[in-house]
Structure 1
Amino acid sequence: MDTALVIGGTRFIGRHLVEDLLAHDYDVTIFNRGNHENPFADDDRITHRQGDRTNDSALEAAANEVDPDAVFDCVAYSPKDVQAATRIFGDCEAYVYVSSGAAYGNEEIPKREGETPLENCTTEQAADDSGETYGARKAEGDRAIFAAAERGVNAMSVRPCIVYGPHDYTERLDFWIDRVNRFDRVVVPGDGTNVWHRAYVEDVASALRIVAERGESGEAYNVGDRRLVTLEETVDLIADELDTTVEVVTAGPRELEAGGIGPDDYVLYRAYPHVLATAKLAGLGWGSTPLEEAMARSVEDHLETDRDGQEHGPGRENEERVLGILDTF
């Protein structure tokens, strides 16, 4: 494959995907609405087509003019988006849909492709754009991939868990980097052993390309760090990269209540472990970046921005009340 069309391509996963494709000698075209700053605006290796991916006519025009070998769909948030794209790009060598680990409907450890059931999706959920229906809509998009494959389309799905790394506008990991960078005591909800599987963004980008090149039609592939760490270990990794030391203070629901906080107020906390099996993707020759390298790049990027992720956790004054209570024990 020589030519790639990236639907999206300028913000986070798509941005890293474009860079990965360029590094592997693809001719790349980006298709999006142009609502966000384009980091590739001055890069003459990349063609930019402006259009709304929910407009089938605009997608059809892109298909005819670009005639891509591979299509990577980073911004398909409703099942109808996937249904339309697999029809419009049905003759391409590969169509890869960015799904999500949230598509899984059962709490199992680990969640495996083809074994762990997907979320159900009602007609009403399919047309809803709220966060509550995100997993259901992604699951229905996966089912659209399976249906397209049965029609002969070389369509595949990649399911990342929580994605982190440079240019992460969600600021989820930034909350924890900011805490470690500013304070010598960091409150971690629970007992510190909470596990919410994460995926380094450059690894997600390489997974998308590898699935396009080597994946099987109608298959879904999980992507996540091959080595998992607890939330407390994540804080320690961040501290190492900041060349600092912190005291991790674990606090259960009763202790947190003193500050008007609940465990779920903290980003990257999940009471039940969320773990995706990644052996299927690794079988295609994919590998993940060592955690120390991934964290080093994430911390470096954080320090170059004003992101602090504070909307993803309680205020420090609330935590100080919790620390005060714990210090009396």
Structure 2
Amino acid sequence: MISPDVERLRGDRDQGLAGLHALRNRTWDACLDVSGYTPRQVRPSAECLRTQVQRYVFISSVSVYGDPQHRPVVETDSLLPPAADDETEITGETYGPLKVACEQVVQALYGSRSTILRPQIVAGPHDPTGRYPYWVNRAMLGGEMLAPGDGSDHLQVIDVRDLARFAVRVVEDAQGGVFNVVGPRLSWSTFIQVLGAQTVTWVRTQVLEAQGVTSQELPLFRPEHGPLSSLMHVDPARSVAAGLVLTDPAVTVADTRAWSVTAQLTPVFTPQREAAVLSAARQDPAS
């Protein structure tokens, strides 16, 4: 939560420089850009603040790497081709290229005064997407719980508070460059244990595919060596060396659970859908 003592200045960079009048004739130690999705958004704020901030920290994404075939993914890996400056539609296909283009805008304008943070899926309390909270809430609900795969696949998320603290750290230490900001890499069997789920039924990937289960319905699950699974194997060594401190996954789960009790989130995988897929899994001869 933002302290009520923090001054709020309102603008709209979708309007270009014309929407940023509130920033004129002011100076700050840093800009932390958490909502730059298109170069048409990032360029106005980056240009406007060029002489008004000492450091521009841009929150990008590991999606800039696309889907590398080798693991682990490191900061020096090749990036996707950047999106065009006039691209504004954000889809699964354009998200990564748009972030690449935004990074390039910031780096061109700020040089060594730029810092690019590439987080994994951001998780923890106050997550409105429901991706991570789904698993926390489902385990808390009890009963027979569907778990995807056989437990040997992996997932990686970053606690939002770790990302926030590291963003402050790079400003305080005047750290420039590019950093993958990712959390511990867990097997799904370990993740399910951390969640505290009691009655678990593992459902083979082939059954999930046959039932048409999407990645949106089972968020965070990317079968090993399947599409985008490389982005669940990202190396955080450079960030850790620069001061990134990672929260124990059990703490992230517990704190997310405490918040979500009153958050009234709609499950992305409905109980009816889960029951139907579990029923199909029981008829799977290979199970």
TM-score between both structures, scaled by the size of structure 2:
0.86
For residues 313 and 156 of structure 1, do their structure 2 counterparts lie closer, same or farther at Cα, with a shift above 3 Å needed? farther
Q: Distance in 2 between matches of 1:140 and 1:314?
A: 41
Moved over 6 A (4+): none
Bigger relative contact order, structure 1 or 2 (CA pairs below 8 A, ≥6 apart): 2
Quote the Cα distance in structure 2 between the aligned partners of 1:314 and 1:164: 25
Work out whether 1:186 is the aligned partner of 2:148.
no
Count of paired positions: 278
For residues 70 and 262 of structure 1, do their structure 2 counterparts lie closer, same or farther at Cα, with a shift above 3 Å needed?
same
The residue type paired with residue 81 of structure 2 is N
Query: Is the CA contact (8 Å cut-off) linking 2:34 and 2:59 kept in structure 1?
Result: yes
The equivalent of 1:138 in structure 2 is: 99
Whether 1:156 aligns to 2:115 is yes
Task: Choose the corresponding residue for 2:218, options 245, 249, 266.
Answer: 266
Q: Say yes or no: does 1:64 pair with 2:30.
A: no
- Measured against aligned partners, the alpha-carbon deviations of 1:48-104 in whole angstroms (never above 9, x if no partner) come to 122212233356423325421111111111023222222211121111111011111
Q: Secondary structure at the match of 1:176?
A: helix
Counterpart selection for 1:88 from 29, 34, 48: 48
Counterpart of 1:129 (choices 80, 86, 90) is 90
Give the equivalent residue in structure 2 for 1:252: 204
Residues 150, 202 of structure 2: 8 Å contact kept: yes
- CA distance in 2 between partners of 1:109 and 1:84 (Å): 36
The percentage of aligned residue pairs carrying the same residue is: 22
Distance 1:177 1:155, change over 3 A: same
Deviation at 1:327? 9.3
SS state at 1:72 partner:
strand
Query: Unpaired segments of 5 or more residues in structure 1?
Result: 1-14, 19-39, 240-244
Offset, 1:328: 9.8
Residue deviations 1:166-215, cap 9 Å, x none?
A: 11000101221232122332222222222232000100111111122224
Question: Could you tell me which residue of structure 2 aligns to residue 235 of structure 1?
Answer: 192
State the Cα distance separating 1:304 from its structure 2 match.
Answer: 2.4
Structure 2 residue 281 is matched with structure 1 residue 286: no
How far, CA to CA, are the matches of 1:70 and 1:59 in structure 2? 20
Give the direction of change, closer, same or farther, for the CA distance of 1:261–1:202 in structure 2 (3 Å limit). same
Q: Which residue in 1 is equivalent to 2:234?
A: 276
Cα distance 1:301–1:89, how it changes in 2: closer, same or farther (>3 A)?
same
Look up the SS of the partner of 1:47 in the other structure.
coil
Q: Distance in 2 between matches of 1:47 and 1:167?
A: 22
Residue equivalent to 2:277: 319
Match of 2:226 in 1: none
Verify the 8 A CA contact 1:267 1:312 in the aligned structure 2. Answer: no
Whether 1:222 and 2:222 are equivalent positions in the alignment is: no
2:154 partner letter: V
Q: What's the secondary structure of 1:266's corresponding residue?
A: coil
The amino acid that maps onto 2:87 is A
Q: CA RMSD in A?
A: 2.6
